[in-house]
């Protein structure tokens, strides 16, 4: 359970709300079956008429696209441990509360319940992140905010202690803006679970 780390500006229109989570599972576990972290619950808190615990049922789409992100104390580049890190995603914008005019209310607290057991067993959920995409609309001439492009790369990656660099070719942006010094304006955000200084 946590509040949003940043507030969405008042009057902003919510374009999408995407929940990501990562779970350690044994190799060969059937999606949604025993030992899988695919299914859980999502619940906005403090909303009159909202769902009772445990909340809305959710089921994630596995976006890992990998065969080699294992889970071990020594490194995460092989499959010798028999455990894999799975990355799930589900759209929760339809589960968010709305005001009397149908505007989605996003600033607040949310509860996410996912399968998780001890460090030595599975499934072990490492964390969840709620990604909010919104747009700011204004009718004041000359006060329109700059246009931003949002590109999301999904998947799973884990460096080994001997290889701490991550390489990812990024595309999908168009006509990037520049600051006063001529530098391209951009921001990159990683969703990281169970980060350690040697990984």
What span, in angstroms and rounded, lies between the C-alpha atoms of 1 and 171? 34
Instruction: Name which of 149, 133, 148 is nearest 91 in CA terms.
Output: 133
Contact yes or no for 88/23 (Cβ under 8 A): yes
| % of the chain beyond a pLDDT of 70 | 80
pLDDT of residue 4: 53
**Whose structure tokens read 């374009």?**
15
Dihedral (CA of 2, 15, 20, 30) sign: positive
When pLDDT is averaged across residues 4-31 and rounded to a whole number, the result is 86
pLDDT tier at 172, thresholds 50, 70, 90: confident
pTM (2 d.p.): 0.83
DSSP character at residue 8: P
What span, in angstroms and rounded, lies between the C-alpha atoms of 189 and 173? 15
When pLDDT is averaged across residues 5-26 and rounded to a whole number, the result is 87
What span, in angstroms and rounded, lies between the C-alpha atoms of 170 and 121? 36
Query: Taking 50 as the threshold, does the pLDDT of residue 20 lie above it?
Result: yes
Query: Taking 60 as the threshold, does the pLDDT of residue 2 lie above it?
Result: no
Digit-coded pLDDT (tens) for 105-130: 888 889 999 999 876 788 988 889 99
What span, in angstroms and rounded, lies between the C-alpha atoms of 73 and 22? 17
Digit-coded pLDDT (tens) for 29-55: 888 899 999 999 999 987 777 788 999
pLDDT of residue 153: 85
Q: CA-based diameter of the chain, in Å?
A: 61
DSSP character at residue 51: P
pLDDT tier at 159, thresholds 50, 70, 90: low
């Amino acid at each position: 359970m946590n509040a949003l780390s940043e507030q969405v500006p008042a009057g902003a229109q919510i374009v999408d709300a995407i929940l990501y989570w990562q779970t350690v599972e044994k190799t060969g576990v059937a999606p949604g079956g025993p030992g899988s972290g695919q299914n859980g619950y999502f619940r906005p808190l403090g909303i009159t008429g909202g769902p009772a615990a445990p909340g809305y049922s959710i089921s994630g789409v596995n976006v890992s696209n990998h065969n080699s992100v294992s889970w071990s104390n020594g490194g995460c580049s092989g499959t010798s441990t028999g455990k894999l890190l799975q990355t799930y995603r589900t759209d929760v914008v339809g589960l968010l509360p709305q005001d009397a005019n149908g505007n989605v209310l996003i600033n607040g607290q949310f509860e996410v319940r996912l399968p998780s057991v001890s460090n030595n067993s599975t499934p072990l959920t490492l964390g969840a992140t709620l990604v909010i995409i919104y747009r700011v609309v204004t009718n004041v001439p000359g006060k329109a905010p700059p246009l931003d492009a949002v590109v999301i790369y999904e998947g799973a990656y884990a460096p080994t202690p001997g290889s701490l660099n991550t390489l990812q070719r990024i595309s999908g942006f168009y006509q990037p803006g520049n600051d006063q010094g001529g530098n391209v304006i951009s921001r990159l955000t990683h969703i990281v679970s169970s980060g350690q200084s040697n990984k």
